[in-house]
Amino acid sequence: MTHSVDADSLRAGARYWNRTGVRSRFFDALSLLLPAGEAFFIDTVETWRARSDLSSNQALDTEIDRFIREETAHLQAHRRYNASLAADLPTVGAVAQRAGRVTDDLAKLSAPMQLALVAAFEHLTTVLAEEISSHAYLIVDDESRPSRLWRWHAREELGHRDVAMDTAVHAGIGRGSLVLALLLTTAYLTTDVLRYTYALCRCDIRSGASRTRALVDAARFAVGAVPSLLRMTRGWCRYLVAPIR
Ligand SMILES: [Fe+2]
Ligand SMILES: [Fe+2]
């Protein structure tokens, strides 16, 4: 059974909920990007379902229902998380507004490429969710509200991990487009999360946080995350060798 996270429980309370400032801001940055990203996923999959004949694939139709229901819940939960972040760090407003427009350029791409991108983003999400669910380095394993949200989100991502890819395969998207999409989404997501993490850390520094402490935190996080990155790289490569279903 799925347990969602209620609105009040998302008030982060402590500014640095994930052990250190930079590690907290890394996931806060990802949260800022998620409502726009998940709205894009939902719209894209819904559009393809409306165009497709799924009468011979009732299971996929049902899985798409689940996908849309769960991504909608994630989107709403991260909006509340982000509102809590903005209440905690008022200078974040402009950064959050920019984050809300990160998928605008994707809407200009062809419909098949948009669906390929969603399948690829969902693979990246799965790889991160596997890491969060099996190791406690990236997200602190405690009962703080943000860490509970991330673990809940990770569990649901693992539950619907194949839906976007199954939809893409049903729509006839070829391996070339899917691989290109993985390369693009990896570059896009990595760049954006790092840019927005930097922007949030700058907000903290303008609010009085120590620049030196932030640099030390960032260096420690980067070094400590190497085992996680290696495991996630193995998961990332799975996409390249998996047969198209
Ligand atoms: Fe999600
Ligand atoms: Fe998802």
Distance CA 195, CA 212 (A): 19
**What pLDDT is recorded for position 14?**
53
Q: Are 145 and 5 in contact (CB under 8 A)?
A: yes
Kindly tell me if the per-residue pLDDT of 25 is higher than 60.
yes
- Residue 2 located in a structural domain: no
Cα 184 to middle of ligand 2, angstroms: 18
Give the confidence band of 242 by pLDDT, cuts at 50, 70, 90.
confident
Scanning 89-110, the segments in alpha helix (DSSP H) are: 93-99
Residue 228 confidence (pLDDT) above 50: yes
**What average pLDDT does range 102-120 have in this prediction?**
94
Number of domains in the chain: 1
Per-residue pLDDT, averaged over 13-32, amounts to 89
CA of 177 to the centre of ligand 1 (A): 22
Q: Output the average pLDDT for the chain.
A: 90
Q: How far is the CA of 122 from the centre of ligand 1 (A)?
A: 8
Among 15-19, 27-31, 129-133, 190-194, the minimum mean pLDDT is found in 15-19
- Separation of CA 209 and ligand 1 centre (Å): 31
**157 alpha carbon – ligand 1 mean position (Å):** 6
- pLDDT, tens only, 142-200: 888 999 999 999 999 999 999 999 999 999 999 999 999 999 999 999 999 999 999 99
Q: How far apart are CA 15 and CA 38, in angstroms?
A: 25
CA of 208 to the centre of ligand 2 (A): 36
* Local confidence band at 3 (pLDDT 50, 70, 90 cut-offs): very low
Quote the pLDDT of residue 90. Answer: 84
Confidence of residue 245 (pLDDT cuts 50, 70, 90): low
CA of 28 to the centre of ligand 1 (A): 15
Q: What's the pTM value of the predicted model, to 2 decimals?
A: 0.91
Mean pLDDT of 74-100: 92
- Confidence label for 2 from pLDDT (cuts 50, 70 and 90): very low
Contact between residue 3 and residue 195 where contact means Cβ atoms under 8 Å apart: no
Q: What spacing in Å lies between the alpha carbon of 202 and ligand 2's midpoint?
A: 30
Asked if residue 4 is part of any domain, the answer here is no
5 lies in some domain: no
Whether 168 is in a domain gets the answer: yes
Question: Residue 9: what pLDDT?
Answer: 35
Q: How far is the CA of 39 from the centre of ligand 2 (A)?
A: 11
The reported pLDDT for the residue numbered 1 is 38
Whole-angstrom distance, CA of residue 22 vs CA of residue 196? 11
Q: How far, in Å, from the CA of 157 to the mean position of ligand 2?
A: 5
| C-alpha 207 to ligand 2 mean position (Å) | 34
Residue that has been written with the tokens 């903290």 in this structure: 204
Residues measured by CB to lie within 5 Å of ligand 1, the ion: 71, 74
Angstrom distance (rounded) from CA 31 to CA 149:
10
Which residue, 104, 154, 112, 149, is CA-closest to 133? 154
pLDDT at 91 over 80: yes
Which domain range does residue 138 map to? 10-241
Domain-embedded: residue 32: yes
